[in-house]
């Protein structure tokens, strides 16, 4: 199976890298403002990840939830072809298959074990926008906590089903995927963007507000 996947994805990889050369100048400028992506579980630190990942796309092939996507040419030459997760489209179910098959260790192997996943997986952290969350605005919801793989550990519900994210959150994004509010009232902020978490929690401003530079709009 590995040979079959590799042969098919070699053409895809070549096409993307070829595009990077064609649009080299454009991509170089974009790289200076490179977006920080939510990486699959087990990803090494971003400073090493983009160099260690060989853009083989195998992680996306083995993902049973089809949650892994790949950065296109607009993501900058540093990120192009690397895997990421867009949780509003599909969250990570933490099966750990991507790390098991990664040939370079860019995605490290993590055993499919409850305690080890909580201890080692650090994709990002969810943040609740209390200004639009139903449970913080006189309507009881709680869907985010119901979808959390670690309910009452990573995501707790207080009175009136108000969600509270703990430091045990691994950033899988299943809460964001399940949120029934539009735009979503809970969003995962990728590892490396921790300053945005602190800013939001200190000032209690909306996640998608102009006061929080660099945050993408809800969709």
10-residue mean pLDDT series, the chain (219 residues)? 50 49 46 78 97 98 98 93 98 98 98 96 96 94 98 96 97 98 96 81 50 43
pLDDT at 208: 45
């926008």: which residue's tokens? Answer: 129
The CATH number of residue 152's host domain is 3.30.70.20
- Position 194 scores a pLDDT of 81
Whether omega for the bond prior to residue 37 falls within 30 degrees of 0, making it cis, is no
pLDDT at position 59: 99
Note the pLDDT of residue 212. 44
Quote the pLDDT of residue 196.
Answer: 83
How many domains in the chain? 2
b/e burial code for range 93-123 (CB count within 10 A of at least 16 → b): bbebbbbbbbeeebbeebeeeeeebbebbbb
Same domain, 127 and 83: no
Instruction: Provide the residue range defining the domain that includes 30.
Output: 2-101
Domain identity same for 147 and 97? no
Q: Is residue 113 part of a domain?
A: no
CA distances from 158 to 35, 39, 152 (A): 34, 30, 10
In a domain, 217, yes or no: no
**Domain shared by 129 and 48, yes or no:** no
């Amino acid at each position: 199976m590995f040979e079959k996947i590799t042969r098919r994805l070699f053409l895809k990889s070549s096409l993307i890298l070829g595009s990077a050369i064609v649009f080299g100048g454009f991509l170089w400028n974009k790289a200076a403002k490179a977006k920080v992506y939510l990486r699959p579980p087990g990803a090494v630190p971003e400073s090493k990840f983009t160099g260690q990942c060989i853009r083989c796309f195998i992680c996306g092939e083995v993902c049973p939830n089809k949650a892994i996507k790949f950065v296109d040419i607009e993501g900058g030459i540093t990120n192009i072809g690397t895997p990421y997760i867009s949780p509003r489209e599909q969250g990570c179910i933490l099966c750990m298959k991507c790390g098991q098959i990664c040939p370079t260790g860019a995605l490290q192997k993590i055993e499919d074990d409850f305690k080890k996943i909580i201890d080692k997986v650090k994709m990002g952290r969810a943040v609740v926008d209390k200004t639009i969350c139903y449970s913080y605005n006189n309507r009881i919801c709680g869907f985010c906590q119901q979808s959390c793989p670690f309910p009452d550990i990573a995501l707790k519900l207080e009175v009136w089903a108000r969600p509270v994210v703990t430091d045990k959150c691994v950033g899988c994004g299943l809460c964001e995927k399940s949120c029934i509010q539009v735009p979503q009232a809970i969003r995962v902020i990728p590892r490396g963007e921790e300053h945005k978490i602190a800013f939001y929690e200190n000032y209690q401003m909306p996640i998608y507000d102009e006061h929080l530079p660099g945050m993408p709009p809800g969709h």
